[in-house]
Amino acid sequence: GPVASLSRFRGALVAGVLGDCIGGEFEGAEEVPMESVLAHLSGLNDETKGNGVLEYSDDTAMARCVVQSLLTRTGFDEQDMARSTSPGRGYGSGVIQVLKKLSCPRLSDVFQPARDQFNGRGSFGNGGAMRAAPFALAFPTATDVKRCSHLGAMLTHSCSLGYNGAILQALAVHFSLQGALETPQLFINILIKEMEEVENTEAARKDARILKEADKPFCERLHRVKELMDRTNVSIEEVISELGNGIAALHSVPTAIFCVLHCLKPLECLPQTFGGLERTIAYSLALGGDTDTIACMAGAIAGAHYGIESIPLSWIKCCEGAEDADRDAERLHALYHQMLQDD
Ligand code: R7I
Ligand code: MG
Ligand code: MG
């Protein structure tokens, strides 16, 4: 569809929620056979089951806080975002302490609680990345998307391996919204080029050294994504060993990007009736590990590419918060286009 169309905004925000809700079933599972994924997905179409709603987890709860803050402040306001990010459900054990401190009215520096995590180095978890998509839906320029997703993630994740994952996820949604996935090679090359610059800081080099990672860890992973993209046969085991499926941003954001790229064309292991968005969610779940978060991030990137029409209605009906996301996407679309005019 047309670049930055309402359909793409709705697709991005709604599919992120679906990834979280549908992916929750397999979170933490070591091995997820594709048959189990397909059984789970076909259950969503079965109205006679009447198993009601699949609840969203912290991934969606925190993204909703980001959306609400961006909309009420008509832009990024760290004070408001810090105070509106409240504990909800199923949070990572570490981040709950940050959220408690952020709710304290006397707090003067809203970035301090995140810095105190993990002996002062900050978290490298994917909690910043899992709520990064809305930044791409609020700000039209890559510069603003990078700046605001960075600061937004810094409220809980002050390690560069955490917040740079959030920047990468926001950029992936941003370029997908612009239609960049029409040419997959171009898409991955743009992301590598952007991350070369993002990771070119003293802080990033220091964190990478301490954590014994490559010099520019996200760039290195994106090069692995590119190599896997060029191959005709890639097993799930290889994807997990090359890219990871864990709760670290480094082991999940590049993985989510790979899921989207790998599912642009039909796959033998998936029903021919599936469209690209269904393939992306299904494939993300089959990787196991942090399935709700990887499917949430892959869903947002894929939804921005395929648009709302690609999402089965039965899936939307099953997932808590999906209709709220659809309504919020319309508001973010208006904010984005208002910012375009103000420029
Ligand atoms: O990143 P975060 O918000 O967790 C997000 C994940 C997603 O899968 C959600 O669906 C949710 O269920 O949790 O939470 P953090 O507590 O900041 O980080 C998550 C975990 O990563 C921590 O509990 C640690 O186990 C690990 N971790 C670290 N461990 C050692 N040293 C993160 N940073 C570090 C670190 O610096
Ligand atoms: Mg979760
Ligand atoms: Mg998770």
CA 106 to ligand 1 center in whole angstroms = 26
Say if ligand 1 is within 6 A of residue 165 CB.
Answer: no
Surrounding residues of ion ligand 3, Cβ less than 5 A: 290, 292-293
Tell me the pLDDT of the chain averaged across its residues: 95
Find the mean pLDDT for residues 331-343: 93
pLDDT value at position 48?
59
Bridge partner residues of 248 (DSSP): 125
247 lines ligand 1 (CB under 6 A): yes
Range 42-62 average pLDDT: 82
Confidence band (pLDDT; 50, 70, 90) for 157? very high
Considering 44-48, 83-87, 95-99, 330-334, the range whose residues carry the highest mean pLDDT is: 330-334
pLDDT at 49: 57
Instruction: Give me the amino acid identity at 252.
Output: S
ipTM over 0.95: yes
Q: Predicted confidence band at 30 (pLDDT cuts at 50, 70, 90)?
A: very high
Confidence check: pLDDT of 252 > 60 = yes
pLDDT score of 1: 74
- State residue 92's pLDDT score: 65
Instruction: Indicate which atom in ligand 1 lies nearest the CA of residue 252.
Output: 8
Q: Which two tokens stand for residue 35?
A: 């048959």
Q: What residue's CA is closest to ligand 1, atom 30?
A: 118
Residue 72's pLDDT is 97
Mean pLDDT for 14-25 is 98
Fold of 6-85+110-342: ADP-ribosylglycohydrolase fold (1.10.4080)
Q: Residue 153: which of 243, 238, 253, 246 has the closest Cα?
A: 253
For the segment 173-192, the average pLDDT, to the nearest whole number, is: 98
Ligand at shortest distance from the CA of 113: 1
Q: Could you give the CA distance from residue 317 to residue 299 in angstroms, rounded to a whole number?
A: 16
Where does 5-100 show beta strands of DSSP type E? none
Q: Where are the domains of the chain?
A: 6-85+110-342
- The residue nearest atom 26 of ligand 1, judged by CA position, is 125
pLDDT score recorded for residue 260: 98
User: Tens of pLDDT along 270-299?
Assistant: 999 999 999 999 999 999 999 999 999 999
Residues 166-175 have pLDDT tens digits of 999 999 999 9
pLDDT of residue 53: 86
What separation in Å is there between the alpha carbon of 343 and the centre of ligand 3?
A: 37
**How many A from CA of 170 to the centre of ligand 1?**
19
Q: What percent of the chain has pLDDT over 90?
A: 89
46-53 mean pLDDT: 63
Distance CA 291, CA 278 (A): 15
- Single out the residue of 115, 41, 277, 288 nearest to residue 181, CA to CA: 277
Q: Are 152 and 144 spatial neighbours (Cβ–Cβ below 8 Å)?
A: no
pLDDT of residue 206 exceeding 80, the answer is: yes
Instruction: Read off the pLDDT of each residue in 192-200 and give the average, rounded to a whole number.
Output: 98
Cα separation, 181 vs 153, whole angstroms = 25
Residue type, 164: N
State the average pLDDT over residues 196-210.
98
Cα(125) to centroid of ligand 1, in Å? 4
Q: What CA–CA distances, in Å, run from 119 to 37, 207, 302?
A: 39, 13, 36
Q: Which of 123, 255, 294 to mutate to test the pocket of ligand 1 (most atoms within 8 A of CB)?
A: 123
Which pLDDT belongs to residue 45? 83
On the question of pLDDT at 2 being above 90, the answer is no
